[in-house]
């Protein structure tokens, strides 16, 4: 049965791919985005589809919420949120608001419409973890007053709010914790590791590494991630459930791989390590495999090639 779906932050990197997948499955999709980080280019091909509707606005706004109240949604994917570290450090209020106020407004909408609601949380909920790899049972190590706390604690509070609505009002909520994701529809302005390194390499600029580059990350290709998000929505699970790739790479190794793949003459430039920067990041995805029958299928080599080809068209 085809569904009426709301996707907040739908013009963003990950959510625009989600829009495409759900639209291609025959659903009607309403995309809300204030374009602070998203781009209309990411959804341009969908704008002419009669089953796709774009609303330019902020999910924290009552005006936008009133526009949505006239719709009948079966599912709400709350994907809206800035993500890259530089941006959330510079705009901590925006990060905190969309994950708290915006989440509450979407939960209220889900409650009124009896809709399922999925909250896109983050591996940042684990902070700089003392447990490795990170399981969903780990409570994390987050600095509640640090420079990243608007985002980190915003995601943690968003999770708490989802569980509060689930327990008190029986709203069908779902929580996924998204680990580092890469692929097309991210852009040169994105300060996350892979888009930043690719942009710098293609321009022949120094590859800037915060700290010594020995910190690790685990990168999941966007199509794999979106597949997991959809499976979570269609499941009976509440979560939280980790979605990511368990292949762990050091930041400096990623830089050298990108330099080689782009045939760049860029040199490595080490800068001061960011405050509260996690030293290790690797998901335990055993729960996703067990409950969702999901796991990543795109290798880092394949995904990186596709991402570099996309960036060559926009850098």
DSSP assignment string, 272-285:
PPPTT--S---B--
pLDDT band with cut points at 50, 70 and 90 for residue 260:
very high
Q: Among 77, 87, 126, 151, which one carries the catalytic annotation?
A: 151
Q: Distances from the Cα of 73 to the Cαs of 29, 33, 142, 238, in angstroms?
A: 9, 17, 35, 19
In a domain, 307, yes or no: no
In a domain, 208, yes or no: no
DSSP assignment string, 115-142:
-EEEEEEEGGGGBS-SSSSBPTT---B-
In a domain, 136, yes or no: yes
In a domain, 256, yes or no: no
Q: Give tens-digit pLDDT for 14-58.
A: 999 999 999 999 999 999 999 988 999 999 999 999 999 999 999
CA 185 to chain centre: 12
CATH (domain of 229): 3.40.50.720
Work out the angle at residue 14's Cα, subtended by the Cα atoms of residues 10 and 15, and round it to the nearest 5 degrees.
Answer: 20
In a domain, 34, yes or no: yes
Q: Give tens-digit pLDDT for 50-106.
A: 999 999 999 999 999 998 988 899 999 999 998 888 888 899 999 999 999 999 999
Task: Establish whether 182 is a catalytic residue.
Answer: no
Give the count of domains, the chain: 1
CB 60 within 8 A of CB 100: no
Q: Give tens-digit pLDDT for 128-150.
A: 999 999 999 999 999 999 999 99
In a domain, 11, yes or no: yes
| Torsion angle of C-alpha atoms 206, 209, 213, 215, degrees rounded to 10 | -150
Main-chain phi, psi angles of 273, to 5 degrees: -65, 140
Domain hosting residue 40, numbered range: 4-182+222-245+283-296
> Residue 261: helix, strand or coil by DSSP?
helix
In a domain, 65, yes or no: yes
In a domain, 144, yes or no: yes
Q: Give tens-digit pLDDT for 189-245.
A: 888 999 999 999 999 999 999 999 999 999 999 999 999 999 999 999 999 999 999
């Amino acid at each position: 049965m085809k569904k009426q779906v709301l996707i907040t932050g739908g013009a963003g990197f990950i959510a625009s791919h989600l829009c495409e997948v759900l639209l291609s499955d025959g659903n009607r999709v309403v995309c809300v985005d204030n374009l602070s980080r998203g781009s209309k280019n990411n959804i341009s091909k969908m704008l002419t589809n009669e089953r796709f509707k774009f609303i330019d606005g902020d999910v924290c706004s009552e005006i936008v919420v009133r526009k949505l109240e006239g719709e009948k949604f079966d599912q709400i994917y709350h994907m809206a949120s800035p993500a890259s570290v530089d941006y959330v450090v510079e705009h901590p209020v925006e990060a905190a608001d969309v994950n708290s106020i915006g989440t509450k407004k979407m939960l209220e909408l889900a409650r009124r419409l009896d809709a399922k609601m999925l909250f896109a949380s983050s591996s940042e909920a684990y902070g700089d973890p003392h447990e490795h790899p990170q399981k969903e049972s780990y409570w994390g190590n987050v600095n509640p007053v640090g420079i990243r706390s608007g985002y980190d604690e915003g995601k943690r509070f968003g999770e708490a709010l989802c569980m509060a609505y689930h327990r008190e009002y029986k709203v069908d909520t779902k929580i996924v914790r998204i680990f580092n994701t890469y692929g097309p529809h991210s852009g040169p302005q994105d300060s996350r590791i892979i888009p930043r390194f690719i942009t710098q390499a293609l321009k022949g600029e120094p590859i800037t590494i915060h700290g010594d580059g020995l910190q690790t990350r685990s990168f999941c290709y966007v199509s794999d991630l979106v597949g997991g998000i959809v499976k979570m929505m269609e499941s009976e699970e509440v979560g939280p459930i980790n979605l990511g790739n368990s292949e762990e790479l050091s930041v400096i190794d990623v830089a050298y791989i990108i330099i080689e793949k782009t045939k760049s003459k860029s040199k490595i430039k080490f800068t001061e390590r960011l405050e509260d920067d996690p030293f290790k990041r690797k998901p335990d995805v055993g729960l996703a495999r067990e409950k969702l029958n999901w796991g990543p299928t795109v290798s880092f080599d394949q995904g990186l090639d596709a991402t570099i080809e996309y960036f060559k068209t926009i850098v």
